[in-house]
Amino acid sequence: MIKRYALALILVAISVVMVYQPADAKENQAQTIPNETSVSKKNLYTYTVKKGDLLSVIIRHIPGITEKDISNNYKLIKELNPHIPNLNKLEAGQSLILPGKPIMEADLKNEAKEKKIKVKKAVSPRTKKSFHKNTSANVKFYKIKKGDGLMEIIRRELKVAEADIPKVLKLIKALNPRLKNVNRIHPGKVIKLPGSTALAKTTIKTKADEQKVAKLSEPSTQPEKIAETKEKKFMPPEVGFAVLKYVITQMNGSVTTTGNYYLPFSKTGQVTIDCSKIPVIEFDDNTTIFLDLENRATNNLKKMISDNWENYYLIKTDKNDDVITILKKVINTTKSYSMIKSEKPLIIGAYPPVEVTVDWVIFSTVPKKTKSLKQGLRIIDENNVMLPKSIKNYSRKNGLIITEISPESGLVGKPDEVYSLPPVPVFPTISARDFSYALVTTLGLNAEKDVDIQMFDTVKDGFNLSIKADVLIKNENKKYIIYSQSLSPQFINALKQAGNEIILVKDNDSPKNMMEKILQGLHIPFTSGNFNFSGVEKKQAPYALDFNGTRINTDKDLYVVDFDFDQELRGLLQEVWSVNIARY
């Protein structure tokens, strides 16, 4: 009987172990998942990298992304994708895990409330075909096309009166709280527009509405409510014209705003243009444009100019045209230049290549013998940061002028950076001896050149024998001999028996190969390959530079390259990343 009870207890114990063991295993497995990534799994999705994809562009296409979210998302994506060694060198076919919405502190705080929020149903394939259809009387969806502007969308899709546009614009902002900058909307993004009911409430004024507006305009003791009713400031006309003039002169054009411009008409008459009222723009391709900023000229004058004078054009602007719209009209009228929206970052220079993100690009459409300049325009809103001056200067040296424009204050830019840098260490490649000595002394090691190493002496061995070492290094009570001549195995063994470590190099070794032999012999860690430095990682403007070289890990990181590094970029790397550059 006792044996029977004992056997039953053993069976129960085994069953308990078998039941709970998988649960423990799952629990242990769950603990291995990184918990630093503060985003729920249901907000993640997989993206397959296409040929030519760049991470900075992919991030900008995450639904609801804004400029200020890019840095946090960049770090999060690195944490979510440990299987990809270099996110700045993506390869077609790789799978990226991406967050489904921008990662902000407010999102993280509200994550606990997610279960209480009613999730909207996904758009079905049938409704996905057209975003122009009304989903309700209060709201409809619109998918932004290439070249769309919000003002144009309001006029074309909603067909409201000009006087009602500011109110409709305010309503669209309320429907799209993630739309931080109405002047910056991206193709492919879906926004909400007011439906027929909401639009009618906004655009039809009643006496009660007028009384409310009048009441709001009266002085109040609540300054925060007054602030809510203020319209967003726009660029003053004189500031916008200064931007226009600067951009055009950078592209070898001129703008005349004084005096008169005469166009001969037949044999007896002429057309006189007052340049203070209608500025005259001239390009180096013989295009002349009369810019009617205040809609003064008649359509007859416009037709007369185009019919009688080749390469002469009159451009009329609308009071709602911003400086970018006017620039597009002017630049795209010429035969030799074009202005287009920039869809991906530009690669500037070669040693090192620098990647910069701009909003618009102006370029020559005519092949020239000399390399023509391009101009990149960056629109800087309150969430953007300006590019370092060293990046802009390097871009200009390599044929790209970068102009940064604030929608309110016009031309902006950082002041010049002044870097106090020591000379770049250079390792001469004439001989292995000189190269080795320059390398080890730059690394701070105690070294001597052309040192006689005593191998045998007459007192002890009955004869005298010594060899001349190219470089002798004393480090941590050890002696390292760098030798570039052929040594017999007997000599090598004798030197080793005397407590020396031997590093053999040759004059015909490549500098990179020679450096790696020396570093391995000295047991100094190093890495060779491509190194990338991204401004986004440091919460700066979107730029990146990368180069091939060798990183030597000592008390200060030293990167050795085989080209002459731009001094301003070197200063930027030193200041932001504490990078030291040497070359051979």
Cβ neighbours of 537 (radius 10 Å): 16
pTM of the complete model: 0.62
Question: Between these two residues, 140 and 347, which has the higher pLDDT value?
Answer: 347
C-alpha to C-alpha distance for 217 and 231, rounded to whole angstroms:
13
C-alpha to C-alpha distance for 396 and 485, rounded to whole angstroms:
48
C-alpha to C-alpha distance for 118 and 99, rounded to whole angstroms:
20
Indicate the burial class of 103 (C-beta count within 10 angstroms; 0-12, 13-18, 19 or more): buried
CA 47 to chain centre: 20
Question: Between these two residues, 537 and 45, which has the higher pLDDT value?
Answer: 537
CA distances from 71 to 75, 83, 383, 539 (A): 6, 20, 12, 6
Question: Between these two residues, 65 and 481, which has the higher pLDDT value?
Answer: 481
Q: Indicate the DSSP class of residue 154.
A: I
C-alpha to C-alpha distance for 36 and 59, rounded to whole angstroms:
20
pLDDT at res. 156: 81
41-108 matches 418-522 in fold: no
Q: How confident is the model at residue 180 (pLDDT cuts 50, 70, 90)?
A: low
Checking if the pLDDT of 41 tops 60, the result is no
In whole numbers, what is the pLDDT of the chain averaged over residues? 76
Question: 561 and 549 in contact (C-beta within 8 Å)?
Answer: yes
Count H helices and E strands in the chain, helices first: 19, 25
C-alpha to C-alpha distance for 131 and 135, rounded to whole angstroms:
9
The pair of structure tokens assigned to 342 is 């920039």
Mean pLDDT calculated for residue range 12-34: 37
pLDDT at res. 40: 54
Give the domain ranges of the chain.
1-33, 41-108, 125-229, 237-397, 418-522
Cβ neighbours of 521 (radius 10 Å): 17
Q: Which CATH architecture has domain 418-522?
A: 3-Layer(aba) Sandwich (3.40)
Question: 102 and 64 in contact (C-beta within 8 Å)?
Answer: yes
**Tens digit of pLDDT for each residue in 44-103?**
778 888 877 778 778 877 776 766 677 777 878 888 888 887 787 788 888 888 886 544
CA 546 to chain centre: 13
CA distances from 75 to 81, 82, 95, 226, 413 (A): 10, 11, 17, 39, 27
**Phi and psi for 149 in degrees, rounded to 5?**
-125, 150
Question: Between these two residues, 336 and 179, which has the higher pLDDT value?
Answer: 336
pLDDT at res. 17: 38
pLDDT at res. 182: 65
Block residue for tokens 């040594």 = 487
In terms of DSSP H, where are the helices of 140-186? 150-153, 165-175
* CATH no., domain 41-108: 3.10.350.10
pLDDT at res. 230: 41
Checking if the pLDDT of 112 tops 60, the result is no
pLDDT at res. 127: 38
Beta-bridge mates of residue 561:
583
pLDDT at res. 461: 58
Question: 505 and 473 in contact (C-beta within 8 Å)?
Answer: no
Nearest-Å Rg of the Cα atoms of the chain is: 35
pLDDT at res. 73: 79
**Tens digit of pLDDT for each residue in 224-269?**
433 333 445 577 888 889 999 999 999 889 999 999 988 876 666 7
* Helix axes of 511-521 and 432-442: crossing angle, nearest 10 degrees: 50
C-alpha to C-alpha distance for 37 and 567, rounded to whole angstroms:
38
Checking if the pLDDT of 483 tops 60, the result is yes
pLDDT at res. 164: 77
pLDDT at res. 492: 80
C-alpha to C-alpha distance for 546 and 352, rounded to whole angstroms:
6
pLDDT at res. 330: 93
pLDDT at res. 141: 80
pLDDT at res. 118: 39
Checking if the pLDDT of 513 tops 90, the result is yes
Longest dimension (CA), the chain: 134
Question: 383 and 67 in contact (C-beta within 8 Å)?
Answer: yes
Degrees to nearest 5, angle at CA 235 with 312 and 328: 30
pLDDT at res. 457: 61
pLDDT at res. 581: 94
Q: How confident is the model at residue 215 (pLDDT cuts 50, 70, 90)?
A: very low
